[in-house]
Structures are given as C-alpha cells and as structure tokens.
Amino acid sequence: MKTKQTFSDKARIIFKGILDPIGAFLNRLGLTPNTITLLGLAGTTIGAYVLSQGRMTTGAFILLASVLVDAFDGTMARLRGEPSDFGAFVDSVSDRYAELVTFGGILYFFLTQNDYPGVIVSFLAAAGSVLVSYVKARAEGLGFTAKVGILTRLERYIVLIPLLVFNQPFIAVVVIAVLANITAYQRILHVRAQGRERIRQSKEPNA
C-alpha cells in the first residue's frame, strides 16, 4: 500500500533547501541530532512555563523558536548518513512530551484564572494530540498505516502559535481539541478499513 504523505512530510520537501544547509552547519559544530531534539524540548518547556504565567505572546514566540530548532534533528541525521531507529524513537517521545508540557502550561494558566471550561478543553486538546500520535504508532506496530487526518503535529502548531501570539489561548485549545480528536477518529477508521481488507484477503482461496 502506498504511504500517503502528511503535511509535515511535504513541508520537509518544500523547505529542504533551507533545512539542509543549517543542518550541515549544526553537524559541523559537533552537535548531534539527539542534542537538538532535547534542546527543542527544553525550549518548549520554557515556553510552556511562560504560557502558564499568562504571557501568551512571549510564550508563543519561544514555542516557535523551539519548534524550528526541533525541525533540524532529522535533517542532521540524514546528512550524517546515520538515521537510527533509536533517534526516531527519541524524537517521537520528545515530541509527545513537548505537546503535553505545552498544554499543561496553558491548562495551569486557566486554573489560575478559575476558568474551568478552559481547563477541560485544554485537557481534551492534550488528549486528542497524544491520541493522534498513539493511533499511528499502534497501527504501524500492527503492520497498518495511519498517516491520514486533518490535524497532524505541524498543523497543530500552525493553529496554536498564531492564536497564542494574539492572546487567544481558549480559541486555540478549542480548535485543537475538536480537530485533533477528529483526526484520531479518522485514523481509527482508516485502520479499521485496512483490518477488514486484511481479513477479506485472508479468506480468499489461494490462486
């Protein structure tokens, strides 16, 4: 089955001319892809703290810088000729931590404001974001594909960061809560269709 490209995959191709020279420069500095991954996570954690204090615009720009830094780890590994399963694992796990920390910061802010609808929606946004990635990982572990849906990780940041810049955290988490959970459901349906096709093929008599 042909693997469908996500928006993130397409973005890497479009911006390859920018990513490759910077990735090569970072390699020459002696930095490793995993170091860049962890630097991105550290930056996101700082941004989440700033968001928790209600400084949405500042926090958004810190998040943006962190996301841009994190974009170079895969490029660096590819240019080194040494992409590894462990590196991909570290990147994936750090991405999940980054999203949870970010939504945790926003959730804490809503708690300090006694904004309980904001707290609930922030939790739903975090849950939906993690489920999108979990469904894909679980599907691939079973031999299926699940690179479908309307709101992948990059798209979530494209929604989140501009709205935080304009100090609209509630709108940001509402949009992500709705669309991320829809995306998880789209992936579940996609995997179910593949599972049914696998069962159908297993029942066909051998030619």
Judged against a pLDDT cut of 70, whether residue 5 lies above it is answered with: no
Residue 1 lies in a domain: no
| Confidence at residue 1, expressed as pLDDT on a 0 to 100 scale | 47
CA dihedral 108, 171, 154, 110 (to 10 degrees): 0
For residue 162, the enclosing domain spans 7-203
- Residue 2 is assigned to a structural domain of this protein: no
Q: What is the pLDDT of residue 207?
A: 46
> Is residue 164, in this structure, part of any structural domain at all?
yes
Q: Considering the chain, what percentage of its residues have pLDDT values greater than 90?
A: 66
Region 190-206: mean pLDDT is 89
- Number of compact structural domains in the chain: 1
Q: Identify whether 35 is part of a domain.
A: yes
What is the dihedral sign for C-alpha 39, 133, 110, 174? positive
Residue 76 lies in a domain: yes
For residue 156, being part of any structural domain is answered with: yes
CATH number at residue 18: 1.20.120.1760
Instruction: Give the range among 66-80, 102-116, 189-203 with minimum mean pLDDT.
Output: 66-80
Residue 85 pLDDT: 78
Task: Report the 10 Å Cβ neighbour count for 155.
Answer: 19
Helix (H, G, I), strand (E, B) or coil at 45: helix
Type of residue numbered 102: T
> Is residue 92 domain-resident?
yes
Percentage with pLDDT > 70 across the chain: 93
- Whether 103 maps to a domain, the answer reads yes
Q: Three-state DSSP class for 62? A: helix
